[in-house]
Amino acid sequence: MSEFEILKKMLMADRSVRRFDASKPIGRDVLEQLVDLTRYCGSGRNLQPLKYRLVYDAAECGEVFPALKWAGYLTDWDGPQESERPVAYMVQCLDLRLTENLLCDDGIQLQAITLGACALGIAGCIIKSFNVAKLRDVLGLEDCYKPLYVLALGCPAETVEIETMSGGLDADVKYYRTPDGVHHVPKRPLSELIIR
């Protein structure tokens, strides 16, 4: 298999998972390995202004969970049950002492982390919708750290399938869950991504 094929396979496997096996913890050492991947990512102006607050203690994870909002398209779901909750979080923060206007570093680093996690059999869900004040309070974040995203992590306890959308610009982009518990994610076909 070529390196390109390996990368494509990894990207296809790197899905957002919202239900985890809470009986399988992730230690600090694994989280540090994942953060270490970000050192090799491109960075606008090479400022490298992103820092990570690692959460892996069960009690602290329990305090972070209520600050998060889960799966906006699944309106009849309140989020994972206790046995399906993440066992670790990485809170990506902008260090305001270095800059106040982030370029594209956040997404680049999150993708590197989730790909690394995927290679270790760990799934993640990048969360943008959260109560900033509550998260700051729970984690004791200093004012110089602006939380941007929360990455929930754990061993996956659900199956995610990619399907090709049809219908052009008006196609339904909403992910959904079928009665068998499979999470479906529509993706636009290649033909719609290239401007002719």
User: pLDDT digits over 139-181, tens only?
Assistant: 999 999 999 999 999 999 999 999 999 888 899 999 999 999 9
Q: What is the pLDDT of residue 193?
A: 94
Question: Residue 53 has what pLDDT?
Answer: 98
Domain range 163-196, CATH class: mainly beta
Q: In the sheet where 160-164 sits, what is the strand order?
A: 160-164, 183-187, 176-177
What integer pLDDT is reported at residue 15 of this predicted model?
97
pLDDT at 167: 80
Residue 84's CB is within 10 A of a number of other CB atoms, namely 16
Q: Cα separation of 83 and 23, whole Å? A: 7
According to DSSP, residue 130 is labeled: B
pLDDT at position 87? 98
Place of tokens 């659900």: 158
Q: What is the pTM of this model?
A: 0.96
| pLDDT confidence of residue 23 | 98
Identify the bridge partners of residue 149 per DSSP, sorted by sequence position. 92
Q: Quote the CA–CA distance of 147 and 124 in Å, as a whole number.
A: 17
> Which stretches of the chain score pLDDT less than 50?
none
Residue 83 CA from chain centroid, whole number: 19
- For 72, phi then psi, to 5°, come to -55, -35
| Domain positions in the chain | 3-158, 163-196
Q: Which CATH number fits domain 3-158: 3.40.1710.10, 3.20.20.120, 3.30.70.20, 3.40.109.10?
A: 3.40.109.10
